[in-house]
């Protein structure tokens, strides 16, 4: 049995999508001035408790029931991001609740958040059979997020301007443009892993783009190269970019040392 109805593509204006796990990006800024006032022993206890919270997320991931990524963020837009993937909105809320209960949470100021659902476009169809039963497709819809050295997140939309309106293009035109986009993407195989979250109706932009890489320079290279590609050059509209470094739970003491 398919978990979701199998979409058909060509008869509709909207490109059919396969939809996987719901995704929350929760960006937080640490209130360092307040944290400095906490004595060292209490701070260590808080870090221990937070480590246990991250370990509980790892257990869910090990069971294949969700995934997460925890990264520090460079610059002043945020200090941390917890990216969480779960089968339902309710389970995302469960994670938010558990996060809220940690003592360290009280020293974190919300800076940005983004809600989406892992999405695969079906511009080129999905092959024979029920795509939701195809192991390759499943591994992309319900992924275990990489533990790569670096993350880059940004929201984006496709333009709806007079003249350049993505949503007024024919399916064939969009298919052709997306094919060219995918060819650039493929040239970054082994360097960048991308996760596209569809967010129309969920958040302020239409997609949340999350990229992972071992070499942070690859983010600049792919985004710059794509700017010259028609899909991005004509139709791409972008929000703020958030970049950062993996934060393993073993490094929390160093991260929170003040
Ligand atoms: C590793 C790089 C990489 C690769 C291989 C890749 C491939 C593909 C394929 C094959 C497809 C279509 C089918 C599907 O699988 O969804 C997509 C779809 C999409 N992409 Fe992409 N993309 C990449 C990378 C990649 C980047 C860096 C960006 C940001 C664009 C930029 O200018 O900053 C992006 C955006 C998107 C979006 C917003 C969509 C959905 C658009 C829609 O209208 O539906 N993407 N993408």
**By alpha-carbon position, which residue is closest to atom 13 of ligand 1?**
121
Substitution site in 181, 200, 233, 240 for ligand 1 pocket (most atoms within 8 Å of beta carbon): 181
Series of mean pLDDT values for 10-residue runs along the chain (258 residues): 57 82 98 97 97 98 98 98 98 98 98 98 81 94 98 98 93 95 97 98 98 98 98 97 98 94
pLDDT reported for residue 128: 79
Strand partners, 193: 212
Measured by CA distance, the residue closest to atom 36 of ligand 1 is 196
- pTM of the shown model: 0.95
pLDDT at position 11 is 40
Does ligand 1 have an atom closer than 6 angstroms to the CB of 181? yes
Choose, from 132, 154, 235, 242, the residue flagged as catalytic: 154
């Amino acid at each position: 049995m398919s978990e979701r109805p199998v979409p058909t593509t060509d008869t509709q204006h909207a490109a059919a999508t396969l939809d996987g796990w719901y995704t929350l990006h929760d960006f937080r800024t640490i209130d360092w001035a307040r944290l400095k006032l906490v004595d060292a022993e209490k701070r260590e206890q808080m870090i221990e408790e937070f480590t246990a919270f991250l370990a509980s997320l790892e257990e869910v991931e090990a069971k294949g029931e969700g995934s997460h990524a925890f990264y520090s963020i460079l610059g002043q837009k945020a200090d941390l991001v917890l990216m969480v993937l779960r089968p339902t909105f309710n389970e995302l809320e469960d994670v938010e609740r558990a996060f809220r209960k940690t003592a360290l949470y009280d020293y974190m100021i919300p800076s940005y958040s983004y809600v989406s659902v892992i999405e695969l476009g079906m511009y080129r169809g999905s092959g024979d059979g029920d795509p939701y039963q195809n192991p390759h497709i499943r591994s992309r819809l319900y992924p275990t997020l990489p533990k790569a050295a670096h993350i880059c997140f940004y929201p984006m939309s496709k333009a709806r301007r007079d003249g350049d309106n993505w949503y007024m293009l024919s399916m064939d035109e969009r298919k052709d443009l997306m094919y060219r986009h995918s060819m650039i993407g493929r040239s970054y195989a082994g360097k960048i892993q991308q996760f596209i979250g569809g967010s129309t109706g969920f958040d302020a932009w239409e997609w949340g783009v999350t990229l992972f890489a071992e070499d942070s320079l690859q983010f600049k290279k792919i985004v710059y190269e794509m700017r010259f590609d028609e899909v991005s050059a004509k139709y791409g509209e972008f929000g703020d970019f958030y970049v950062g470094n993996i934060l393993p739970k073993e490094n929390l003491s160093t991260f929170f040392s003040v």
